[in-house]
Amino acid sequence: MIDSFNSYGLEPWIVKQVLSFLNKAQTPQDLHVEDASESGTGYAIGRTVAARILAQRNALPGRRFTRLEQVQQISGLGQDKLHDLVAGFSLPAAEAFRRQMSKTVLPSNFTLVYDSIHIRELKNFHLIARTPSRLNHLVTKRLEAIAYEKHGDVPVRDLIGTLLDQAYLETFPSPQIGAYALALWFYRFDEDNWFSFASAHAEAEAYLSRYEAPSDRLELRLYKGFPNAGLLMDPISVTDLPVVVNYPEQVITIWRAQLQD
């Protein structure tokens, strides 16, 4: 069982990210961490300390870390360095995906935004995740607020629920299949004129496959036929509304985008 590392007050998903990174490393060179700032260039743990980390891990049952306290005991890995290590994995999945898409795939005239709803009570989160009507209600309320902020118009706001009910909700439990569907949504904006399907797919798969365990999946839900253009975003936009159910972070994320051609 992965410890929640209460002395740092960390969310369990951050601890899982750190331990997964340390458990995957095969050589000291593998222990390189991007820092959490948008302009950061990352840093590397020194070779000596990195070698100690691997040696400590390989001496454990199953050759795996299961608690951050096990890492904390390693000589030369001070509190500052451990804090930096943790900070490198504290970026939520949605923000990491947005940054990576903006950095490596999308042109400067493409706007990609998301709205994440954190549901702290685990039982309530799972109830919403497995009940389409509850998910629809949650998404509707957030989209109504977005539409009202954009238009200042009550009738437009009140139209959201009807349009969402009319859309067909398709679920993609597999991150691999979901990545194709999400990449295709991006690709439909202007096909190969601005970016390739392959580049969008690579980032979408990395996003939806961020966590290792099947129970820690990120699941794409696509509201097919939902109109974005003129309602939530300005043209150029496309139909369908991607929503990602993020189990480890207990977050529902709604994605919107527009292209200024």
Q: Among the listed ranges 7-11, 126-130, 144-148, 204-208, which one has the minimum average pLDDT value?
A: 7-11
As a whole number, mean pLDDT of residues 19-43 equals 72
**For the chain, percent of residues with pLDDT exceeding 70:** 92
CATH classification for the domain delimited by 12-87, as one of 1.10.246, 1.10.3470, 1.10.150, 1.20.272: 1.10.150
Rounded to the nearest integer, the mean pLDDT of the chain is 88
Q: Among the listed ranges 7-11, 91-95, 205-209, which one has the minimum average pLDDT value?
A: 7-11
As a whole number, mean pLDDT of residues 66-83 equals 83
As a whole number, mean pLDDT of residues 178-189 equals 96
Q: CB atoms < 10 A from the CB of 122, how many?
A: 10
For residue 5, pLDDT over 60 is answered with no
Residues 203-248 pLDDT 10s: 999 999 998 888 899 999 999 999 988 888 887 789 999 999 999 9
- Distance CA(190)–CA(188), nearest Å, equals 5
First to last CA, the chain: 50
Of residues 73 and 54, the one with the higher pLDDT is 54
Are 216 and 247 contacting, i.e. CB atoms less than 8 angstroms apart?
Answer: yes
Domain boundaries in the chain?
12-87, 93-259
